[in-house]
Amino acid sequence: MSSSDTPDTDVTEAEAVEVDELREGVVARLREVLGDGVVEHHIVPNCDVWIRIRPDAWQAAASSVRYTLGARQFGFLSAIDWQPSPWRRYMDSEVDKAVHGDEPKPLPEMTTGYAGGETRFQVFARVANIIEHWGVTLKVDAGDTDPAVDTWTKVYAGADWHERETWEMFGVRFEGHPFLRNIYLPSGFEGNPLRKDYPLLSRFTKPWPGIVDVEPMPGTDEEPSSEEGA
């Protein structure tokens, strides 16, 4: 769902979507500083902006966005594992098998989100400019196996703990981080829990009882049923 770089594509849509000048300006200014480093961007008008950065420009992007664009407020930094989970929703109760059927289905294709992406792991970070009132999500491809990106700690000191969390949860190495170690999990923990191929063990130790509606939808008088639903 990533749009191309020019805003013309948006205007040709069925609804007249206005051009978000503030955010277009942000993208333009970043492109001025980084040039080729900005790979793609995606704007949801009057809402938010996503910018994908080339991996070797990640640290330069940090300083540009902090000093040149004035986004001094650090939000967070984390990662996404775009590979679909081989266990899907761990549905293994009788109720759900009756709904889904029992045959194994093929894994869906790996797709990435706004502003695209080429590798399995993507590191993303959020910073905000609190004077001009905008925030931007910067994304960067980290790699398929053994993901690694540059560290942001030299620009935003707060990224220290966020990078440590990303390291332990996804296994993404941050080059130049002063001391990359576990933050939530005990040292010596094996595995990276938030990776999609790391199973959610509680679903294996105790089978999911199935989706059962315990309250009817608000505004209706329906009886609760055990169909697949919210």
Partner 1 sequence: MTAVSDRQKLAYLAGQAADARVNVELETEGMVLNIGPQHPATHGTLRIVARLDGEQVVQAEPIMGYMHRGYEKLTEVRTYAQITALINRIDWVGSFANEVPFILAAERLMGIEAPPRAQWIRTILFEMGRMANIILFLGDMGIQVGALTPMFYAFRDREFILNQIEAVTGGRFHPNFDRIGGLKDDLPKGWIEDSHTAMAKVREICDIMEDVLLGAEIFEARTRGVGVIPPDVAMQFGLSGANARASGIDWDLRRDTDVGLPYGQVDWKVWTHPDGDSFARYWVRLQETREASLIVDQLLDTIPSGPVMAKVPRIIKVPEGEAYVATENPLGEMGFYVVSKGDLNPFRVKIKTASFNNLSITPWLLRGVYVPDIITILGSLYFILGDLDR
**Residues found near partner 1 in the complex (CB under 8 A):** 1, 47-48, 50, 72-76, 78, 80-81, 84-85, 89-90, 111, 113-114, 124, 126, 130, 133, 135, 137, 156-158, 160-162, 169, 182-186, 193-194, 200, 203, 211, 217-219, 228-230
In the complex, minimum distance from the CB of residue 140 to partner 1, in angstroms, rounded to a whole number = 15
In the complex, minimum distance from the CB of residue 105 to partner 1, in angstroms, rounded to a whole number = 13
In the complex, minimum distance from the CB of residue 25 to partner 1, in angstroms, rounded to a whole number = 18
**C-beta of 80 vs 172, nearer to partner 1:** 80
- At residue 21, φ and ψ (nearest 5 deg) are -65, -40
Q: Is the Cβ–Cβ distance between 228 and 89 less than 8 Å?
A: no
**C-beta of 32 vs 227, nearer to partner 1:** 227
End-to-end CA separation in angstroms for the chain: 26
In the three-class reduction of DSSP (H, G, I as helix; E, B as strand; rest coil), residue 134 is classed as: strand
In the complex, minimum distance from the CB of residue 35 to partner 1, in angstroms, rounded to a whole number = 26
**C-beta of 106 vs 218, nearer to partner 1:** 218
Q: Minimal CA–CA distance to 192: which of 137, 116, 121?
A: 121
**C-beta of 36 vs 205, nearer to partner 1:** 205
Q: Minimal CA–CA distance to 88: which of 111, 105, 112?
A: 105
Q: Where are the beta strands (DSSP E) in the chain?
A: 38-44, 48-53, 73-81, 121-129, 134-143, 148-150, 173-175
In the three-class reduction of DSSP (H, G, I as helix; E, B as strand; rest coil), residue 37 is classed as: helix
**C-beta of 150 vs 192, nearer to partner 1:** 192
Residue 107, Ramachandran bin (φ over 0: left; ψ between -120 and 50: alpha; else beta): beta
**C-beta of 156 vs 174, nearer to partner 1:** 156
In the complex, minimum distance from the CB of residue 48 to partner 1, in angstroms, rounded to a whole number = 6
Q: Minimal CA–CA distance to 114: which of 193, 215, 40?
A: 40
In the complex, minimum distance from the CB of residue 173 to partner 1, in angstroms, rounded to a whole number = 19
